[in-house]
């Protein structure tokens, strides 16, 4: 498969229509059957692949930045009697293991972005299920605030992965059933092992959907429910949005270059270098922050980091380690960090902060090792210091001029999936120390950063190059499977949340089940899907 491009635009959508007007919007699925990323499958019945989900993710993001006045988004289908048949089975069956897991991870991140939009941006989602809703289609609906099902005696909701494919719902369906919708465990047990799913009043009484609507009144009632969900804040409708222009990176064999970011690629060593360029200037926020536009440094930079992380996941699976560098004026970065904090209640600044939060979570969840490298030219301050805290290790040069800075944003503006700040997660045994670092809000020299536990290793100038080289070589010599499991275990210390449950189960159980012969063996359920043969299982349970 050719490299995946994660940039798109509503004018280029092949599978989705975005309609936005005043305080409401509609996302309408009409998946092009022959529009898959590969030619070996057809996207029938609104089934989706990564290309479809890239469009959904783009639409969710654009609604927040380009249409901030919208407070209700109705998600529905343009096909008669079909909402969505879920992730395309033949796409999954023909994909290698790494793609399957990254695909599930990406779709999960998109669903979480929808839930975040509802909770923190005031854009609530209504799933209008006008027909069958199966597998990943129902998982998409589960990410919405309300789910309404057409009452036509045929349409049902289902999660048939276990009986049909011998795998688990890959987008958090099991967790959202019991944690989010609080469906009873015994009823959920029946539901997810029932291939045909549940329809009608039983779907309502079990808590699988919120309402049942006759087909003759479906469109009218959906409009009424959407109207009831609209925010009463009339000032919201007057908000101005910003158009998210294309990033259009320059791509060659050994690097991807953006405006503020360069991703160097050493394929032979399986090493990538992420170089962040600091801001050239700091624009003041006067009457309206939205006037800063899509070129505002933190917005543009973190869109670039997001794109680079996704390309690393899907297009460069052999890359095992990413070293993270920055270069620029630390004080300028800190000034922007103060803007992000002081104007955090502004709707535009809030969206930028939430984007930074999502991208940092994407970094946390990326199956690559990350080493942050800090020297005299670095500008890791405030929101950029989160890149250091997100890294598995940090190396800070013991040299005059090397510094790192923290501020109030590091105290919880950008929480991890566990709900804690990266500082709080780092200092679980010393919560008062994490709070002290935030309260002091200042620069740390190398010696001060080491003493405060903010960096890992501080080589002197004489040993600097050798220390970095040896650390890189050692990391790249270790088993990538063991490292993935190790990092996923170590990065999320502290409390469990619905989000950590979803990704923990995806990384461990789904990762394991997707490779078992019962799913992908010659007579496994996933391999035989669509054929007249029955799967043959190894009945031993472990």
- 222-231 in b/e form (b: 16+ CB < 10 A) is beebbeebbb
Sequence-separated (6 or more) residues with CB below 8 Å from residue 509? 168
For the chain, what is the total number of helices (H) and then of strands (E)?
A: 22, 19
Range from 66-80, 161-175, 374-388 carrying the lowest mean pLDDT: 161-175
Which tens digit of pLDDT belongs to each residue from 389-440? 999 999 999 999 999 999 999 999 999 999 999 999 999 999 999 999 999 9
Q: Extract the tokens encoding 83.
A: 């909402």
Report the alpha-carbon distance of residue 60 to residue 11 in Å, rounded.
15
Which single residue is written with the structure tokens 């941006």? 121
Q: Extract the tokens encoding 282.
A: 């700091």
Of residues 527 and 412, more confidence is placed in 412
Q: How many CB atoms lie within 10 A of CB 383?
A: 26
Q: Extract the tokens encoding 315.
A: 């297009």
The domains of the chain, with CATH numbers, are 10-229 (3.90.226.10), 249-486 (3.90.226.10)
Beta partners for 27? Answer: 18, 75
At residue 514 the predicted structure's pLDDT band, cuts being 50, 70 and 90, is confident
- Main-chain phi, psi angles of 16, to 5 degrees: -145, 145
Question: Which pLDDT value is given to residue 126?
Answer: 98
Sequence-separated (6 or more) residues with CB below 8 Å from residue 459? 395, 397, 398, 466, 467, 468
Beta partners for 216? Answer: none
Which tens digit of pLDDT belongs to each residue from 106-116? 999 999 999 99
Report the alpha-carbon distance of residue 360 to residue 354 in Å, rounded.
10
Of residues 359 and 172, more confidence is placed in 359
Question: Residue 283 burial (CB < 10 Å; 0-12/13-18/19+)?
Answer: middle
At residue 542 the predicted structure's pLDDT band, cuts being 50, 70 and 90, is confident
Three-state SS for 389-418 is HHCCEEEECECCCCEEECCHHHHCCCCCCC
At how many degrees (to 10) do helices 347-364 and 297-315 cross? Answer: 30
Q: How many CB atoms lie within 10 A of CB 209?
A: 26
Cα–Cα–Cα angle for 116, 117, 120, rounded to 5 degrees: 70
Which tens digit of pLDDT belongs to each residue from 18-42? 999 999 999 999 999 999 999 999 9
Which tens digit of pLDDT belongs to each residue from 208-231? 999 999 999 999 999 999 999 999
- Main-chain phi, psi angles of 395, to 5 degrees: -115, 120
Report the alpha-carbon distance of residue 242 to residue 347 in Å, rounded.
12
Report the alpha-carbon distance of residue 251 to residue 178 in Å, rounded.
44
Question: Which pLDDT value is given to residue 507?
Answer: 67
Q: Extract the tokens encoding 101.
A: 């897991």
Beta partners for 326? Answer: 276
Among residues 480, 181, 433, the alpha carbon closest in space to that of 318 is found at 480
Which tens digit of pLDDT belongs to each residue from 269-317? 999 999 999 999 999 998 889 999 999 999 999 999 999 999 999 999 9
Range from 161-165, 274-278, 320-324 carrying the lowest mean pLDDT: 161-165
């Amino acid at each position: 498969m050719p490299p995946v491009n994660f940039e798109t635009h509503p004018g280029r959508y092949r599978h989705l229509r975005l309609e936005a007007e005043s305080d409401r919007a509609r996302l309408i699925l009409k998946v092009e059957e022959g529009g898959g990323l590969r030619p070996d499958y057809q996207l029938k019945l609104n089934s989706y692949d990564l290309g479809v989900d890239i469009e959904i993710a783009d639409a969710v993001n654009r609604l927040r930045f380009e249409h901030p006045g919208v407070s209700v988004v109705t998600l529905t289908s343009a096909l008669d009697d079909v909402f969505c048949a879920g992730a395309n089975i033949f796409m999954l069956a023909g994909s290698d293991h790494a793609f399957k897991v990254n695909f599930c991870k990406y779709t999960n991140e998109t669903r979480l972005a929808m839930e975040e939009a509802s909770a923190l941006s005031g854009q609530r989602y209504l799933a209008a299920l006008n027909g069958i809703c199966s597998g990943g289609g129902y998982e998409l609906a589960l990410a919405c605030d309300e789910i309404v099902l057409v009452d036509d005696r045929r349409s049902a909701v289902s999660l048939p992965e276990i009986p049909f494919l011998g795998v688990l719902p890959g987008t958090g369906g099991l967790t959202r059933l019991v944690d989010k919708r609080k469906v009873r465990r015994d009823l959920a047990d029946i539901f997810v092992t029932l291939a045909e799913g549940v329809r009608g009043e039983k779907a309502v009484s079990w808590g699988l959907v919120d309402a049942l609507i006759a087909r003759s009144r479906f469109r009218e009632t959906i409009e009424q429910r959407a109207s009831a969900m609209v925010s009463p804040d009339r000032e919201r409708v007057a908000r101005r949005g910003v158009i998210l222009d294309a990033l259009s990176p320059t791509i060659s064999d050994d690097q991807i270059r953006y405006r503020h970011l360069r991703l160097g690629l050493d394929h032979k060593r399986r090493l990538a270098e992420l170089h962040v360029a600091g801001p050239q200037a700091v624009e003041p926020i006067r009457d309206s922050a939205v006037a800063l536009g899509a070129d505002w440094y933190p917005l543009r930079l973190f869109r670039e980091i997001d794109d680079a992380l996704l390309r690393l996941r899907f297009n460069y699976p052999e890359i095992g380690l990413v070293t993270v560098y920055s270069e620029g004026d630390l004080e300028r970065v800190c000034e922007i960090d103060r803007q992000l904090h002081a104007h955090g209640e502004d709707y535009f600044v809030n969206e930028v902060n939430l984007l930074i939060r999502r991208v940092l979570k994407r970094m946390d969840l990326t199956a690559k090792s990350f080493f942050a490298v800090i020297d005299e030219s670095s500008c890791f301050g405030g929101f950029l210091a989160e890149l250091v805290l997100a890294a598995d290790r940090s190396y800070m040069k013991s040299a005059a001029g090397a510094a790192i800075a923290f501020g109030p944003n590091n105290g919880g503006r950008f929480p991890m999936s566990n709900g804690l700040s990266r500082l709080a997660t780092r200092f679980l045994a010393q919560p008062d120390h994490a709070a002290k670092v935030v309260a002091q809000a200042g620069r740390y020299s190398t010696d001060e950063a080491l003493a405060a536990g903010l960096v890992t290793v501080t080589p002197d100038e004489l040993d600097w190059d050798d220390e970095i080289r040896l650390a890189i070589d050692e990391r790249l010599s270790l088993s990538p499977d063991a490292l993935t499991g190790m990092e996923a275990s170590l990065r999320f210390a502290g409390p469990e949340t619905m989000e950590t449950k979803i990704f923990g189960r995806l990384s461990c159980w789904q990762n394991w089940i997707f490779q078992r012969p019962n799913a992908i063996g010659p007579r496994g359920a996933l391999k035989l899907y669509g054929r007249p043969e029955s799967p043959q299982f190894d009945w031993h349970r472990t």
